[in-house]
Amino acid sequence: MRYESFEWQEQPPPSNGVPRNAWGRQSRRRSRWHRPYTFALVLLDLLSVLGASFIASSLEKARAGLNQPWLFFDGTDLFFFFAYIALPLGWLVVLWTNGSYDRRYLGLGSEEFKRVIRASVTIVAAVSLLAFATKTDLSRGTVATVSLSAVILILLGRVLARQVLHLARRHTGHGAHRMVLVGTLPEALEVYTAVTRSPAAGLIPVAIHLTDGFAAARGIETPVPVYAGRDVLSLVREVGADTIAVCGSASAEPGELRRLAWQLEGTGVDLVVAPQLTDIAGPRVHIRPIEGLPLLHVEEPTLSGPGWLIKNLMDRAAAGFGLLLISPILAVIAIGIRLSDPGPVFFRQTRVGHDGRTFKVWKFRTMYQDAEERKATLEELNESDGMLFKMKHDPRIFAFGQKLRATSLDELPQLINVLKGEMSLVGPRPLPADDGDYLGDVRRRLLVRPGITGLWQVSGRSDLSWDEAVRLDLYYVDNWSLTYDLSILWRTIFVVLKRKGAY
């Protein structure tokens, strides 16, 4: 639904803070989804540690040849006390103190998992130090089993809980924050577009409050109602919001922003700032306060160094091992292609790679041999708005080739390109060499090696527009990290299984 209604009211005198007792009871936060969600995480983490202790004790008993029940406790066996009482409670305390239940990190991003791993390292160090200090004869194998099992079970529980939260946010709107966007209309609409790209993020804009009046915005269709000249806090209460997002230039007014923060004290409403700097991920952004002025410092992208070397080594090792492991599958696919259409098994095409160097990409052939000649007659049916030719029902693809594309099995031979160092497992998709000179923003994709999978593949694949695909590839280049690569590889599994956007 689109809105063209604007409302104007006289602005009341600004508040300079809510009088309150620092030791008194504060207002509850308007967004309460994280309370039951955090309780569920605590329960899952507790069960995970208990499960890890059970696994370790069972293995220890099996090794020692004992047959007593696993819950046996006679008051003298301290192992069971520490394994099933002290360790689980201690693990929860360390997880809590490491911020793994902080609502800012729940449901999105990798920070939650990093904090879980850091807490686990702390627990292992504490147990080892305690055993050394008390001269306890503690089996290193038991410690390793408990630690590794607990980390794996906790992370699996977190992933499961996150998937449930994402489903609730996508289909019911529960577990989400309702936002009022404050700023000029173009800035607010830009933030609206950014936060609604990912429903799993749980940010739902419900209104826009204009800071420069509604005259310039009159007659413009907007996805949510637009207001001007209203008291922001009363508007938040009216629309049932729990978060205020200050957009763009509005965040550059330190006096106004400070007074808004004062006004929200004690109300339970969150205040976030969305600067005009977009598509820059958190690890590259640091706040450096100088004399009360918070400076937003943006680091350069890290496209070299030890992390990049590890990425290259991992690519080569994974490609070599993968080719050996799936060689029987490759042979079966090759036979299927030859039976479907006489001709070569592989399709090789010149693509543009790192620093503009060209190379021959390896793919299983999925089209008839005269596909290139027939392409000229199908140009007007191209469903892509960019450099690539895409059709959902391309008549040049034979039946077996369609199955290979739907399951992405036609991409497997690109492991050869990865092994040769021409491609990476994760990166921007390699584009044909005869489709332009890659000027402007598109050329920035060439700063890294192209990949078999990438950010735009796990975000919609062929269903995305060309501009959106370029934006995602540039985001990957600007915010690359090893953790990001691993998350994309993990998401690729589910995208391939769903077969979304594969044609």
Q: 277-304: per-residue pLDDT in tens?
A: 666 666 677 677 666 666 777 777 777 7
Triad 467, 471, 474: Cα angle to 5°: 135
Least confident of 227-231, 242-246, 305-309, 494-498: 494-498
pLDDT tier for residue 74 given thresholds of 50, 70 and 90: very low
* CA atoms lying within 13 Å on the CB side of residue 373: 3
Asked whether residue 190 falls in the same domain as residue 55, the answer is no
Which of 105, 137, 171 is the last residue before a domain boundary? Answer: 171
3-state SS assignment for residue 304: coil
CA distance 482 to 310: 8
Asked whether residue 396 falls in the same domain as residue 355, the answer is yes
Residue 391 near residue 503 (C-beta atoms within 8 A): yes
**Is 26 among the domain residues?**
no
Structure token digits, residue 40: 């569920």
**Is 9 among the domain residues?**
no
50-71 confidence digits (pLDDT tens): 888 888 777 767 666 554 444 4
Could you give the angle at which helices 140-171 and 34-64 cross, rounded to 10 degrees? 150
**Is 283 among the domain residues?**
no
Which of 171, 199, 224 is the last residue before a domain boundary? Answer: 171
pLDDT tier for residue 250 given thresholds of 50, 70 and 90: low
**Is 55 among the domain residues?**
yes
Mean pLDDT to the nearest integer, 464-478 = 81
Which of 149, 171, 193 is the last residue before a domain boundary? Answer: 171
Asked whether residue 370 falls in the same domain as residue 481, the answer is yes
Give the pLDDT of residue 418. 95
Asked whether residue 145 falls in the same domain as residue 184, the answer is no
pLDDT tier for residue 32 given thresholds of 50, 70 and 90: confident
Q: Is 112 exposed, middle or buried (0-12, 13-18, 19+ CB in 10 A)?
A: buried
**Residues in the chain, how many?**
503
179-203 confidence digits (pLDDT tens): 999 888 888 888 888 888 778 788 8
Mean pLDDT to the nearest integer, 459-480 = 79
pLDDT tier for residue 416 given thresholds of 50, 70 and 90: very high
Give the pLDDT of residue 451. 92
Give the pLDDT of residue 265. 80
Least confident of 16-25, 37-46, 245-254: 16-25
Domain at 202, CATH number: 3.40.50.720
**Is 13 among the domain residues?**
no
Give the pLDDT of residue 23. 40
Q: Please tell me the total count of domains within the chain.
A: 3
Q: Distance of CA 81 to CAs 57, 90, 453, Å?
A: 12, 12, 48
Q: What are the two backbone dihedrals, phi and then psi, of residue 354, each rounded to the nearest 5 degrees?
A: -60, 130
Query: Residue 340: pLDDT above 90?
Result: no
Query: Residue 427: pLDDT above 60?
Result: yes
308-335 confidence digits (pLDDT tens): 889 999 999 999 999 999 999 999 999 9
CA distance 38 to 165: 11
CA distance 380 to 58: 67
Residue indicated by tokens 């940010």: 203
Give the pLDDT of residue 167. 86
Give the pLDDT of residue 71. 42
Asked whether residue 322 falls in the same domain as residue 462, the answer is yes
114-144 confidence digits (pLDDT tens): 889 998 888 888 877 776 776 666 666 677 7
Quick one: which of 46, 47, 263, 61 has its CA closest to 142? 61
pLDDT tier for residue 420 given thresholds of 50, 70 and 90: very high
Asked whether residue 314 falls in the same domain as residue 406, the answer is yes
Give the pLDDT of residue 334. 92
Query: Residue 378: pLDDT above 70?
Result: no
Asked whether residue 203 falls in the same domain as residue 253, the answer is yes
Asked whether residue 491 falls in the same domain as residue 358, the answer is yes
Give the pLDDT of residue 70. 43
Q: Do strands 243-247 and 270-274 pair parallel, antiparallel, or not at all (unpaired)?
A: parallel
pLDDT tier for residue 380 given thresholds of 50, 70 and 90: low
Least confident of 135-149, 231-245, 377-391, 428-442: 377-391
**Is 311 among the domain residues?**
yes
**Is 356 among the domain residues?**
yes
Asked whether residue 225 falls in the same domain as residue 347, the answer is no
Residue 123 near residue 149 (C-beta atoms within 8 A): no
Asked whether residue 466 falls in the same domain as residue 448, the answer is yes
Residue 149 near residue 51 (C-beta atoms within 8 A): yes
Asked whether residue 75 falls in the same domain as residue 220, the answer is no
Asked whether residue 221 falls in the same domain as residue 363, the answer is no
Query: Residue 72: pLDDT above 70?
Result: no
Domain of residue 121 covers: 34-171
pLDDT tier for residue 431 given thresholds of 50, 70 and 90: confident
**Is 22 among the domain residues?**
no
Query: Residue 353: pLDDT above 60?
Result: yes
pLDDT tier for residue 450 given thresholds of 50, 70 and 90: very high
